[in-house]
Amino acid sequence: MLGRLNHVAIAVPDLAAATAVYRDTLGAKVTQPQTLPEHGVTVVFIDTVNTKIELLEPLGENSPIAAFLEKNPAGGMHHICYEVDDIIVSRDRLKAAGARILGDGDPKIGAHGKPVLFLHPKDFLGTLVELEQA
Ligand code: CO
C-alpha cells in the first residue's frame, strides 16, 4: 500500500523567514507561497531531488497547526507524507485495521491538487502521517 515519501513538512511561525533560511542559507529552490484556506495553511515547497520539504505557516483563525506552534514556537517537524495508489482503498484498509482518520474521514484536495488524508499520530508512532494519492 505505502508508496514513495512525497514530502516532510515543517511548521514555521514566519514563512518568509523560513523561506530565506532554505533559499539563502541552504541554497535551495523554494516555490512561491500557496494559500490553502481549506487546510488553514500557507505553504511553500523545496525540491530536494529525491523528495520535497513543505514549509507550513498558519492561515486564518482556526489553523490546525496553531496549537503545534504554541508548543513549538520556533517551528518543528509536523508531518510526513507518503504516496498511495488509491486513497479510498488505503483509507478503508486502515480503518478496518483500527487506525483513526482525522477530520470527517473523506479526502480533501491537497497542495498538489490531489486527494489527501491525515492519520492520527497516536496510531503511527507519534507522527502525523499524510497520505496523498499518487
Ligand atoms: Co503535507
The pLDDT score that the predictor gives to residue 102 is: 96
pLDDT digits (tens, 9 = 90+) for 32-74: 999 999 899 999 999 999 999 999 999 998 899 999 999 999 9
Cα dihedral sign, 39-40-42-45:
negative
Give the model's pLDDT for residue 79: 97
Of 38, 61, 83, 130, catalytic: 130
Q: What amino acid is encoded at 89 in this protein?
A: V
Strand ranges for the chain from DSSP E:
5-11, 34-36, 41-47, 52-58, 76-84, 108-109, 115-119, 128-133
Residue 132 annotated among the catalytic residues of the structure? no
- 130 CA to middle of ligand 1, Å? 6
What tens digit of pLDDT does each residue of 62-116 get? 899 999 999 999 999 999 999 999 999 999 999 999 999 999 999 999 988 999 9
Report pTM.
0.93
> Domain tally for the chain?
1
Q: Say how many Å lie between the CA of residue 89 and the centre of ligand 1.
A: 20
Å from CA of 96 to ligand 1 middle: 24
Ligand 1 centroid vs 129 CA: distance in angstroms?
A: 9
Q: Which residues form the domain of 53? A: 2-133
Question: Which residue(s) pair with 115 in the sheet?
Answer: 109
Q: What is the pLDDT of residue 115?
A: 97
Supply the pLDDT for residue 61: 86
CATH of the domain at 102: 3.10.180.10
